[in-house]
Amino acid sequence: MRHQKKTIKLGRTAEHRKALLANQICSLIEHQRIQTTLAKAKAVRPLAEKMVTLGKNGSIHARRTALAVLRQKDAVKKLFDDIAQRSAERNGGYTRIIRLGRRKSDSAPMAFIEWVDAEQGVEEKPAKEKKAKRKGAEPKPQQKSPEREEPQPEEPKHKEPTAKEEKPATPPAEEPKPKRRRWFGRSSDDEK
């Protein structure tokens, strides 16, 4: 039974956990939406909602209590002046958690946590196009280096064109090389 074990530990000491949650709430106040793991989002939600309730109260004592938890004056000011005013009519449920799926590196479940009454102007930055990681995927254009051209000897005018000279000036299309497979940095016998 888990009676009276409400605190989500997050594998941290009490001081580390308090600092982590305070920083997460300050980032949420500043950016209106943050991406984090699902466990951290679930741990941030109750504390963030308590901070909004303090902001709606608006007294000096409430402001000092919020400052003791959050430890950042700018975040407390924005909380009391902006976020609490937007949530004045709401009786609770100031945040929402949106699940995103699993993180690629360690398969941790990820989520957005955001204010329900946030302005609609919050948008994601456009994703940059990814470049090819392989060296041979896209050949780079070679720059002409300023080299001194050597004069070529003149050919006699009465000479007939040979088979080499009749070929077009464009080189034939090269076949793509087979993929080089590396296994733990060892090269195979056929690559030598």
Residue 154 CB coordination number (10 Å): 6
Band of residue 17 on the pLDDT scale cut at 50, 70, 90? very high
Beta-bridge partners for 96:
114
The H or E element spanning position 55 is: helix 38-57
CATH number of the domain encompassing residue 29 = 3.90.1030.10
Q: Is residue 137 part of a domain?
A: no
Domain of 31 in residue numbering reads as 14-115
Q: Is residue 88 part of a domain?
A: yes
Place of tokens 């040979």: 162
Could you tell me which residue, 152 or 2, shows the higher pLDDT?
Answer: 2
3 state DSSP class of 180: coil
Q: Is residue 126 part of a domain?
A: no
Q: What is the pLDDT of residues 174-184, one digit of tens each?
A: 777 777 666 66
Q: Is residue 128 part of a domain?
A: no
Band of residue 84 on the pLDDT scale cut at 50, 70, 90? very high
Number of independent structural domains in the chain: 1
Q: Is residue 173 part of a domain?
A: no
Note the pTM of the prediction, 2 decimals: 0.62
